[in-house]
Structure 1
Amino acid sequence: MEKDILSKLEVARLIALQRLGILPKSEERRLSAWVERDEKNKAFYEQLRQKSFDENATSPSTAEGWNLFEKKYRTGGKAPRPFQRTLYRMVASAAVLVLAITGTYYYLTQPNEEIISSPQPVSAVQLVLENGNKITLDDPQSFVLALNNNVALHAEKQKIDYATTKKETVEIDEIYHTIIVPKYGEYTVRLSDNTTVKLNSESTLTYPVQFKGKERKIRLTGEAYLEVTPNTTRHFIVEAAGTTVTVLGTTFNVNTSAPDGNVATTLVNGKVEVGNGLTTTIISPGLQAVTTSGNARIDVRKVDTNVVTAWVRDMFYFDEKPLGEIMQELSHWYEFNVVFEKESLKQRKFTIETSRYENIDQVLKLIEETHVVTCRKEGKTIYIQ
């Protein structure tokens, strides 16, 4: 019986009667068996059993319970007989205690978490040095990091710059750094060749302090928007979850964060070659190459680059997208559960553009203004009807 809310309420009722000393023996055995069934039941029992309801508690007092009971059940102007008054008081006391304990049950079991209404970074961006040491990049003022071999590196809260590093002070071998961006954060890395990489929330970038050799290679997890400095003699290579993107000089977006595990490379301008270890394809501006782990095929599709790169402008941009997919993306960002009261609503298409840092209530209002659905918040869940 412990699998549903009604059974827990029944347990609360039995505990109330037990505390009053009027719980029948058969029910006492039933309650004891439930308590001994597992540790969670025992913990729940102890919480309600030990809960005190004194005169300072918010629950109504016995006297108040009696007054309410008396008002409800007294008829005419006759005063009740002594034994009736005693009976009424006992019933009222029992009712108050049952209400108090079952009310406590609701208090203990209802989730107190709320939807994240206006997202803020959960932690600061971190820079991981070649020796494993971590530096927190949370100072709003520009500052200089002193690295090994007297290399000076300029960093800010939203950007770090390797292009100004003195070349002659760097070792011959490539030294790698890693930037870790937390949820709701964004960060820009200007690499030593002047290439700019803007990292989306929950992304990681590993790159050399200075590029050496015939290639310029970086590793990406998450999503990034890149503006690569042209260099006809040194290809720029992005390795991302088994996908390799090779360019000479161009602007493109790489996303490894899709729920289905696919990697999407979207070209804004220039030309890139996308490979998956089995085959390669070259795409032109306005096209997106999608690679799937273990699949030799690379799917190429035409997309609106303004929609794909909306996050670079701190925006959500949904263009004729099914509501089910929209709510899936929003639920990850604002951390809520979504329930559609009709499955058909998931397929209704919407066009919405809003700031990624807008209050969730305003985002839901935009959806409701279409007069197609209504949204109802309850704790960490949004119901769509």
Structure 2
Amino acid sequence: MERRSKLLEIDLVRGIAILGVMMVHSTSNATIAMKESGLYGVYNFFNIFSKIGTTSFIFLSSFVLFYNYFPQPITGARMKKFYSRRLLLVVVPYIVFSALYFLYTWKMNGKPWDLEQLLPTFWDRLITGKAYTHLYFVFINIQLYLLFPILLFLFKRYRWLAASAIFVGVALQWAFFLYNREYWQIPNRASWAPTYFGQYFLGAWLGIYFDQIKSWIIISKENFSKSRLAAWIVLWGVWLTAGLTDVTNYYYSRLDKTYIYTNFDRDLFWDIYTMLTPIVLMQLAFLVGGAMNRSFGLKLLRHLGMVSFGVYLLHPFVLLIYRKFPPQGGSMLVHHLWYLGGYLCAVIISWVIVTVVSKLFKSSWILFGNVPGQLAGGSKKKEKVDVPA
């Protein structure tokens, strides 16, 4: 069976998602330090409303995998290639950056260079995604890669299961939420794949049936009808309501430690917002995607999406260094500009470094994973590893 057509717009979604990731990380300190500022609501908004990265990349990983693999027969050679590429292009960079961040923080905390203490601690953090705060995402993706061939086989064997994938994913996700709350009480729930089964199974369903349902996803004159317009308005309305509710709840809880909603409600609003966000982003990407060849800004955004995995891994290093030089006194405007500068540095410096290193060195995959052939220094691997992923 022929491979399905490449969706260039997905790189735009990746670009938007990685900008959201860096916004969250760049404003995290401000949500603590700027509570007396009149613009605290703005910092809180950008910090919470931009929490689209992890879930959107999980969705995208699933979408791209099932979009590409579902029409193809399952063979041992294909699955072997699947795992070997991810071992090289995801696990290796994950180990390298885990070691770099771990050693840096170990040194900054003044701990002794005692291998009997250092190595077991590193190993424990490596296998749980805790070597640094953002690396839990790659740890989640590794878990989901292990599940992918099993789910692919089940969805191909039982078409009713593929057709109901969204409901199955949400049911499993919420069973995990509720059982964890009542019985297991895993402290780092966000580091485990079942937390994101709703987003992952949604991506699988859309990847499998995209050709049949794309007229409902893509906003265009050709796809316009009254029923679709109503569906699009409801989608955006529910998405915006859930996102703003999450923002409001965090605003009050951060200021006076008072939650407006219960744990169940908070999980519900978060889940609705993060389930709908990648669909909204896909709609935006397809809406403007036709102008990619003419718009310099869209070309830049697509380029950022193409190198997003490396940017994701690297940008906290940029923020670590930048935050060593906070403003000493000065007006509130100076502090606002400093936080803005942190975001711009995280975006621009990490983007430039990943691009240049990928262009110059064939072995850049050790650090930044795979990049498309036109961006890589002689390394023209064709398959995109969809993680920032």
- Structure (1/2) with the larger helix percentage: 2
TM-score by length of 1: 0.22
* Pair member with larger Rg: 1
Bigger relative contact order, structure 1 or 2 (CA pairs below 8 A, ≥6 apart) = 2
TM-score by length of 2: 0.22
